[in-house]
Amino acid sequence: RGALYHKIHVGADGKIMDGEVIVPTGQNQINIEEDCGRLVEDLVAKGVTDVEAITFELEKLIRAYDPCMSCAAHFLKVDLTIK
| Structure confidence by residue, pLDDT tens digits, 18-76 | 999 887 777 888 898 999 999 999 999 999 999 899 999 998 998 888 776 666 656 66
Mean pLDDT of 4-16: 93
What is the amino acid identity at position 23? V
For the whole prediction, is pTM greater than 0.85? no
Residue 69 has a pLDDT of 64
- Residue extents of the structural domains in the chain: 5-73
Residue 3 has a pLDDT of 78
Classify 20 as helix, strand or coil.
strand
